[in-house]
Amino acid sequence: MRLSYILVVLIILASIALSLYFYPQLPDQLVSHWNSNFQPDGTLDKAIGLAICPVILVMLGGLFMLFPRIDPLKSNVEKFRGDFEYFVVLILAFLLFLHLLVILWNLGYQLDFALLLPLWFCAIIYSAGTLCKRARRNWFVGMRTPWAMSSDTVWVKTNVRGGQMLQGAGLLMLLGLLSSTLFFIILLLSMVFVGIYTITYSYREYQKELKSGKAKPAKKPVKSAKKAKR
């Protein structure tokens, strides 16, 4: 069994163990939601609150392990599978950390969300950029614009450029340690900018390939004989 699979299973089991162990010690209503200033503003029934994270981890872990097997371009996935699995483990570890954070908060240990969460988001966004830079054309991971999916060259250019921008955004988010409001502004604006830029960049690179003759325009679907007669 792959190491990443073992880590995914251990993370899931850890979330279940935390829920079962702390269940008797927690209040009937758990603080489960915080606003942009990291102040609590929502609660959930204890049973539901403690079940949410394990259920999400099981679903995500199963999907992430399934993706490399069912991707039509699975041979490409194998070229960056190690990076993909590292990213999966990072995401699941983050969710487990959130689960522990919620439990500790409700036990009276009010940790500094404004410090801990920006650091995690910086790591996740930066790692997402690294994954994009190393990814090869596939159906599940990376910046899958129509033009990137139509050309290996455009795919590499789009994902390398977009990956670099995500890495920059991840580092920029460290400024969010100064202010929770600043953190959310940087997060929102950087994601919107990266999305718009990579879509535009991908389209322009594909058009360059068309003009140079390196790429072929997509063919229109051929009508069936019955439809043609009609």
Q: What is the pLDDT of residues 174-216, one digit of tens each?
A: 887 788 788 888 899 999 999 999 999 999 999 999 998 766 6
The CA–CA distances, whole Å, from 202 to 111, 162, 206, 214 equal: 42, 10, 6, 15
31: alpha, beta or left? (left if phi > 0; alpha if psi -120 to 50): beta
- Tell me the percentage of the chain whose pLDDT exceeds 90: 67
pLDDT score of 202:
97
106 neighbors 31 (Cβ within 8 angstroms): yes
- Among 33-42, 79-88, 105-114, 213-222, top mean pLDDT goes to 79-88
pTM comes to 0.86
Burial label for 118, CB within 10 Å (0-12, 13-18, 19+), is: buried
Cα–Cα distance, 123 to 217 (Å, whole number):
39
pLDDT of 25-40, one tens digit each?
999 999 888 776 677 7
Cα–Cα distance, 194 to 162 (Å, whole number):
7
For the chain, what is the mean pLDDT? 88
How long, in residues, is the chain? 230
Question: What percent of the residues of the chain are helix, what percent strand, and what percent coil, each to the nearest 5?
Answer: 75, 5, 20
- Tell me the percentage of the chain whose pLDDT exceeds 70: 91
The confidence band for 224, taking pLDDT boundaries of 50, 70 and 90, is: very low
